[in-house]
Structure 1
Amino acid sequence: MHPLRAIGLTATAEDIYLALVQRGPTKSAALASILRVAPDAVDAAADELSGMGLVEPDGERLVARPPRAALDALAEIRAKELGALRDSADELSQFWRDHHAEGPGYIEIVRMEEAREALARRVQDEAVHQVRALSIGPSGRLAAPPKVAPGCLEALARGVAYSVVYGARILRDPIGREAIQTCVNLGERARVFPNVALNLMICDDRFAVVAAPARDPQRRHHIAVQRSALLDGLIGVFEAYWQMAVPLPAGDESMDDVGAAPTDDARQLLTYLSSGLTDESIARELGVSERTVARRIARLQEVLGAQTRFQLGVQASRRGWL
């Protein structure tokens, strides 16, 4: 439980308030001893709490105040600040558009590294329902090793649904596979596609971040896309990749076999299917029952993430199984 840290107070301030609620009025020196912090830290934290109306002095002791009235007042102040922030954003955005008429208002190009990182982090922090993403994986000789995106694990922990299509390149990297497995074990739905063309993150249906690939990380830029027909198009791009991609193992299953070559029997079955043979003809060629043929086809569809036999042929061809 960290209710006060969540609104910007320090850990020491939170600990002091909780201690005062539990113990009643207490001297600063006693709090410093109990919490094993310096007296100056207690004084600074007490000032934080006093400023919010959560603590008041009573002689040499500090006394906790009921939180409801103080925090309701703070919520009201911050709600007004948030409204003012949104109004300022609208006003400044209009001012920007008036002086940069060459570009649409729903697109923002971010070039500075810190701003790019902050934009990517916004996707994780602001997502309420879902994050959908395409990930090429590291590219260029100066690319950093793949890792879990900052804020992703926290978002998964609070129940945000993640659906990610990874380029096959990232699965060839043991560090990349480990990072993906960490997320999958926490509930991420992951798929792999041989050639993912761009890095894309979609935060709910509110905005998207497109990371244009570049060999030199210092020359990369991100594009933020707000609600628009373009955002709808990017969502459609993700969904198209998702339908074509191959599911990665869920839970604690290993990813090591993803992309492995098919068995001779599977390759022969796929060849017969691509030739247009019926299940009856395939069964006769293989010397098995039609039920066995149907079961093997269903298994191949499961492995390749295909919902129809046509998709099965497409997936097998893309993976070089035919």
Structure 2
Amino acid sequence: MYSLQGIGISAAAEDVYLSLVERGPTTAAELAHVLHVTPHAMTAAVGELIALGLVAPDGAGLVAHPPRAALDALVESRSRDLATLRDGVEELTRFWHDHHAESAGYIEIVRTEAGRTAISRRLYDEATEQIRALTIGYSGRSARPNMMAPGCREALSRGVRTSVVYGPQVLHDRPAREAVQNSIDLGEQARVFTGVPLNMGICDDRFALVCPPASDWDRRHHIVVRRSDLLEALIGVFESYWQIAVPLPNAVDTADDTGAAPTAETRQLLTCLSGGLTDESIARELGVSERTVGRRITRLQELLGARTRFQLGVQASRHGWL
């Protein structure tokens, strides 16, 4: 069976496109009847396909366009995003290997615990517009427990836009997940991605704080990068990760097409799935059996029209659950 999930198209939109290819020009109402979906879900799926150039109106009906031209443009766009990400990582790597060259006025290396604590707090205290961050949490020997960053609550209460991409390892620990959820409930926009390589925070567009992983937490370095081409590159690195990361659930229970709303337990389940936890780990977290976890995931897939767990994340996001 053909599948468009690899390019992020929802299960509903995929069904609509494949049906149009097979049936030829067809009205949206006829497709909704054939595919057993609501008119609202059909409108959303058709809008998704039209935006990609895969479908166009044809009189009273819809017609499927050949996929090559439209999807080649999408592939090219994704390739540029990944190229930007690779370039940023390469530049950051070159900088790290050459970080002892402290003569550059826009770079400061902080080696003491007091200095690291102070600059970490400044990241939140001095922000007036936005904070963008990548985080893999605390790691290495002597690492402290993961918790909400000092100053984060106050920054959110001031209305500072906070966007964070978490490495999935942060979500493997219950206190850490609770801290992340507390931040989200306060207004943080959070996503998760498996390839996050380090801890980094960007205060407005004024300075970045970079903390590469270290085998011993007490021997790590904090690197402050002020306005420069390097800071612009770090902002580009964050934006690339943000675009390809998966959203984590927020605290707003938004109704879906069926009128149902996600419960706190459903949001917790989606958070665990986004973090890459196994069914066994999720079962321990929720206090249920693995079989129950499997049934709940299957039920969510059926409710949201998702064939795979990847599509479940996409559909949950489109319904406002993530």
TM value normalised by structure 1:
0.51
2:152 matched residue in structure 1: 152
Alignment-derived partner of residue 11 in structure 2: none
Residue 233 (structure 2) aligns with: 233
Match of 1:174 in 2: 174
RMSD: 3.3
Q: Which residue of 2 aligns with 1:143?
A: 143
Task: Find out whether 1:185 has 2:193 as its counterpart.
Answer: no
> What is the SS of the residue equivalent to 1:146?
coil
Amino acid at match of 1:115: G
Secondary structure of 1:162's match?
A: strand
Q: Bigger radius of gyration, 1 or 2?
A: 1
Q: Give the ranges of 4+ consecutive aligned residues of structure 1 lying more than 4 Å apart after TM superposition.
A: 261-264, 296-300
Task: Report what 1:165 is aligned to.
Answer: 165
Conservation of the 8 A alpha-carbon contact between 1:248 and 1:255? no
Which residue identity is paired with 1:157? S
User: What SS does structure 2 have at the residue aligned with 1:131?
Assistant: strand
Shift of 1:167: 0.7
Taking a change above 3 Å as real, the CA distance of residues 232 and 180 of structure 1, as seen in their structure-2 partners, is: same
Once residues 182 and 244 of structure 1 are traced to their aligned partners in structure 2, the CA distance between those partners, rounded to angstroms, is 23
- Hey, what does 1:255 align to over in structure 2? 268
Structure 2 residue ranges without an equivalent (≥5): 1-99, 253-263, 274-278, 280-292
Does 1:301 find its partner at 2:300? no
CA contact (8 A) 1:142 1:215 kept: no
In structure 2, the partner of 1:206 is 206
Q: Give the match's secondary structure for 1:202.
A: strand
SS at match of 1:108: strand
1:247 and 1:303 in contact (8 A); partners too = no
Q: Distance in 2 between matches of 1:154 and 1:101?
A: 35
Aligned partner of residue 138 in structure 1, secondary structure: coil
Q: Give the Cα–Cα distance (whole angstroms) in 2 for the partners of residues 182 and 162 of structure 1.
A: 13
Structure 1 residue 256, shift from structure 2 partner:
3.5
String of CA shifts for 1:145-202, please: whole Å, max 9, x gaps.
Answer: 1011111101100110100011101111000001111110000000111131010000
- Could you tell me how far apart the structure 1 residues matched to 2:229 and 2:108 are? 15
Structure 2 matches for 1:1-322, cutoff 5 A?
A: 103-251=103-251, 253=264, 254-260=267-273, 300-303=313-316
- For structure 1, the 5+ residue unaligned runs are 1-99, 271-291, 306-322
Q: Deviations over 1:125-145 (max 9, x none)?
A: 000000000010121242111
* Paired residue secondary structure (1:205): coil
Amino-acid identity (%): 53
**Structure-2 change in CA distance of 1:263 and 1:120 (3 Å):** same
